[in-house]
Amino acid sequence: MKTLIIYTSIHHKNTEKIAKKMANILEAKLLTPDEADTNTFKEYDLIGFGSGIYHRKFHENLLNFIDGLPVLKNKKAFIFSTSGGLWLPCVNDFNRKIKEKLTEKGFDILGEFSYRGFNTYGPFRYIGGINKGRPYEKDFKKAEKFAKYLKDVVLKK
């Protein structure tokens, strides 16, 4: 199974830390949207899309990258993010927009996850930030478990 992870991580590299843990398990190639070449997508069985949450969304460069993709067939994807606030899929679904875009582009989304990340944006900088030290070991373990689940699901299909 060949896996690619495309991610944007601009604030504290929180998402990059999670992406690297997942990449180790999935033996995935890690690229930013600027580095990724859509012509090589056909080589991959599974593509992960990760980002910090900025103003309740994935970073614009990742969303724009997806907008620029052709409609693909039989491509499996997964989504992950890191955020200052809690991800609550029913009320506060940071992943919703990217999920809609990926579905429009023909991706079959196998799973999604969100982790808490150190946040010093805006007023939080005056108190030294929130979620200090996160993502931490427990988050990494969850990310590895999630990656193992993806690996098993994809391998079984």
Ligand X SMILES: Cc1cc2nc3c(=O)[nH]c(=O)nc-3n(C[C@H](O)[C@H](O)[C@H](O)COP(=O)(O)O)c2cc1C
113-152: contacts with ligand X (CB under 6 A): 117-119, 121
As given in the structure block, the two tokens for residue 79 are: 């989504």
3 lies in the site for ligand X, by CB under 6 A: no
Smallest gap from residue 90 Cβ to ligand X (A): 16
Say how far apart CA 107 and CA 145 lie, in whole Å: 22
Q: Is 21 in the site for ligand X (CB under 6 A)?
A: no
In angstroms, the CA 139 to CA 41 distance is: 29
Contacts (Cβ under 8 Å, ≥6 apart) of 7: 15, 16, 19, 30, 31, 32, 48, 49, 50, 51, 62
**Cis link prior to 123 (omega < 30° from 0)?**
no
- The least distance separating ligand X from the CB of residue 27, rounded to whole angstroms, comes to 22
> Is residue 114 within 8 Å of residue 83, measured between CB atoms?
yes
Minimum CB–partner distance for residue 73 and ligand X (Å): 31
Among 34, 35, 37, 55, binds ligand X (CB under 6 A): 55
The answer to whether residue 53 forms part of the interface with ligand X (CB under 6 A) is yes
Q: How far is the CB of 48 from ligand X (least distance, A)?
A: 14
Q: Which stretch binds ligand X (CB under 6 A): 9-17, 30-38, 104-112, 137-145?
A: 9-17
**Nearest residue (CB) to ligand X, 4 versus 62:** 62
Binding mask 83-102 toward ligand X (x if CB under 6 A, else -) reads xxx-----------------
Task: Give backbone dihedrals phi and psi of 81, rounded to 5 degrees, phi first.
Answer: -150, 165
Query: What's the closest the beta carbon of residue 41 comes to ligand X, in angstroms?
Result: 23
Q: Rounded to 5 degrees, what angle do the CA atoms 66, 25, 30 make?
A: 35
Residue 100, token pair as written in the block: 């809609």
Q: Which residues bind ligand X (CB under 6 A)?
A: 9-16, 52-56, 82-85, 117-119, 121
